[in-house]
Structure 1
Amino acid sequence: MNHLQLEKDIQHLENVITHISAEDRIPLSYWRNRINSVSGAALMPAQANRVKRLNAALAALEDRQKA
């Protein structure tokens, strides 16, 4: 994945994750797969920290869905 596409993907995920809920029509598993695909790329340290925050935010949503 090229650097510009990776940055766009992270930005998109940052925007979306703050606005979704477990009840949205797009399942959380879709967003988990998107975050996992970004996580597998070669990340700069700042990007890796952003992806960690995305993982944590999505994990909190997943936990709420299970409860």
Structure 2
Amino acid sequence: MNHQQLEKDIEHLEHVISHISAEDRIPLSYWRNRIDSVSGAVRMPAQANRIKRLNAALAALEKRQKA
């Protein structure tokens, strides 16, 4: 994955994750798979930090869904 596409994917995930809920039509597992696939292409520390924040935000949603 090239750098520009990776940045676009991370930006998209940041936008979506900040606006979804555990009751959203698209299951959280879909977003977990998207984050996991993008994280495999991360090469820069700043990108890795952004992915960590996305993982934490999604984990909080997943936790609420299970409760």
* TM interval, short-chain normalised: over 0.9
Aligned match of 2:59: 59
Give the secondary structure class of the aligned counterpart of 1:19: coil
After TM superposition, the runs of 4+ consecutive aligned structure 1 residues lying more than 2 A away are none
Shift of 1:39: 0.8
Unmatched 5+ residue regions in structure 1? none
Aligned match of 1:44: 44
Q: What is the alpha-carbon root mean square deviation over aligned residues?
A: 0.6
Aligned match of 1:3: 3
CA displacement, residues 3-47 of structure 1 (integer Å, 9 cap, x when unaligned): 000000000000000000010100000000000001111320000
Unmatched 5+ residue regions in structure 2? none
TM-score norm. by structure 1 comes to 0.97
| Count of residue correspondences | 67
8 Å Cα contact 2:28/2:62 also seen in 1: yes
> Percent identity of the aligned residues?
87
